Amino acid sequence: MGSPRLVLGLLGISLLAVAFYASVFPNSVQMFRVSDERNRDDDSSRETTSFVFPVYHKLRAREFHERILAEDLGLENGNFVESMDLELVNPVKVNDVLSTSAGSIDSSTTIFPVGGNVYPDGLYYTRILVGKPEDGQYYHLDIDTGSDLTWIQCDAPCTSCAKGANQLYKPRKDNLVRSSEPFCVEVQRNQLTEHCESCQQCDYEIEYADHSYSMGVLTKDKFHLKLHNGSLAESDIVFGCGYDQQGLLLNTLLKTDGILGLSRAKISLPSQLASRGIISNVVGHCLASDLNGEGYIFMGSDLVPSHGMTWVPMLHHPHLEVYQMQVTKMSYGNAMLSLDGENGRVGKVLFDTGSSYTYFPNQAYSQLVTSLQEVSDLELTRDDSDETLPICWRAKTNFPISSLWDVKKFFRPITLQIGSKWLIISRKLLIQPEDYLIISNKGNVCLGILDGSSVHDGSTIILGDISMRGHLIVYDNVKRRIGWMKSDCVRPREFDHNVPFFQG
């Protein structure tokens, strides 16, 4: 290395190698070119407004066993609603907000105390005020990045509705969406029934993976939203008035009122707000891993960290407006897990806050279960009597397990490698044992990764709440990218620390 010629020669070879790789694998190198453009002058008018929502947890009905769904979780630890500072005094129209908020991104906002966990409560939700300020009603809505349409149980009259957390929404006839309107055409595009252009109302029917469904009509009303800069806004939003719910969905609605659709579809709440220039079409959520922790969800780009995020390209789906990325390798510890993608070499990962648990394709799931047999050679043994989840272990000492930290040493992390198979230029999402395990009521540790053979298309990895806790995850629909970073989910990093984020 003492020869200048040798040093220059090695440098030249390195540059040629990088140039060659860039020409052969442009998509992978593209990930290095992601830059923070949030302060562009031409976008400043669209990116100075964000909404922050509280997140709560409730029982997740779609994947839970029916026996568990029937349990009454109660609200002994759920006194969050009364302490939320969400009183909307003198809300203003969004156009007025936009004209006065451009220079006050760091103004005060409200954060809400939240309890979040996957088991036993599982289901995360927020609450939104709908209707006129003088007679509006708060509704608790599941946050669901896998759903397009926001809908609320309603009295139209109601054919089949659960008790719900609040009184049924009562639509007004003059607010119904006509079948000729664009949102109706979009919603009915993928339904079995043909679109009716002459109908006076727009009917919808949504079927979920567990064959539950919601039927209703599209309507519109004012949604009241609190801005990141402290201002208050109201905007007319198109959503579903669900008057007929069937299946396990009814169990979910015992203590919630509907679904908050957060997908990339035009009718989702963030897309509607973005189409009117109210926000930039960016959605972020942070679900605390601590059982007594807080969490939040935001819409808009103000709270996206300017550094520390891992960004990967968002994968386009030909039929669904979901949040997906491509994965090239998956492993449990040092053991490789198969991908059911093209030629078994490339797989897909779908981010879904509507799922409590994570799902692997059948072959990868079987390989994972085989690898986990080593756990039984240590201080744990299978307990088939625990029906909380398909696979549970108890301590060989027969003492109940009280914390994941006591047993995580027996398990290995799961690694998802995104981009190139070359480690030096790829991105990785690390799923630690605490991101896929739960402690059951019997004091056992259970595997929160399930067989996804009959979920979605059967070949996609579904990343559920259990594996997204303790991370800030951002879906940037403007730059078509997905990002994440570790977080305690107490407050957004970009928030003004001189302003109290939690109140109440």
Per-residue pLDDT of the chain (504 residues; tens, 9 = 90+): 457 777 777 777 877 766 655 544 444 333 333 333 334 444 444 444 677 776 765 433 333 333 332 333 233 333 333 333 333 334 444 444 443 333 333 322 223 334 345 666 667 888 888 998 778 899 988 889 999 999 999 998 999 999 888 999 999 999 999 998 999 988 988 776 666 777 889 999 998 877 889 999 999 999 988 777 777 778 899 999 999 999 888 877 877 899 999 999 999 999 999 898 888 899 999 988 766 566 888 888 888 898 999 999 999 887 889 999 999 999 999 999 998 755 566 899 999 998 889 999 999 999 999 999 999 888 899 999 999 999 999 999 889 999 999 999 999 999 999 976 555 567 999 999 999 999 999 999 999 999 998 888 888 999 999 999 999 999 999 999 999 999 988 877 665 444 444 443
pLDDT at 168: 95
pTM of the model: 0.80
Q: What is the C-alpha separation between 434 and 413, in angstroms, rounded?
A: 9
Q: What is the C-alpha separation between 274 and 263, in angstroms, rounded?
A: 13
pLDDT at 89: 38
Q: Are 306 and 38 in contact (CB under 8 A)?
A: yes
pLDDT at 113: 32
- The DSSP 8-state label assigned to residue 167 in this structure reads P
In 262-293, which positions are buried (b, 16+ CB within 10 angstroms) versus exposed (e)?
A: bbbbbbbbbbbbbeeebbbbbbbbbbbbeeeb
Q: How far is CA 499 from CA 286, 288, 389, 396, 454, in A?
A: 19, 21, 42, 50, 47
pLDDT at 132: 85
pLDDT at 216: 95
| Residue whose structure tokens are 């991370």 | 471
- Of 265, 273, 289, 51, give the one whose Cα is nearest residue 146: 265
- Catalytic annotation, residues: 144, 352
Q: How far is CA 186 from CA 124, 190, 218, 265, 437, in A?
A: 27, 8, 12, 9, 39
Residue 308, Ramachandran bin (φ over 0: left; ψ between -120 and 50: alpha; else beta): left
pLDDT at 112: 33
Which residues pair with residue 402 across a beta bridge?
none
Q: What is the C-alpha separation between 19 and 33, in angstroms, rounded?
A: 14
Q: Are 280 and 272 in contact (CB under 8 A)?
A: no
Q: Are 151 and 259 in contact (CB under 8 A)?
A: yes
Helix (H, G, I), strand (E, B) or coil at 56: strand
Where would I find the beta strands (DSSP E) of 366-497? 380-382, 392-395, 414-418, 427-431, 437-439, 445-447, 449-451, 461-463, 471-476, 481-486
- Of 281, 261, 228, give the one whose Cα is nearest residue 479: 281
pLDDT at 290: 65
Which amino acid, one-letter code, is at 63? E
Helix (H, G, I), strand (E, B) or coil at 126: strand
| C-alpha 178: how far from chain center | 31
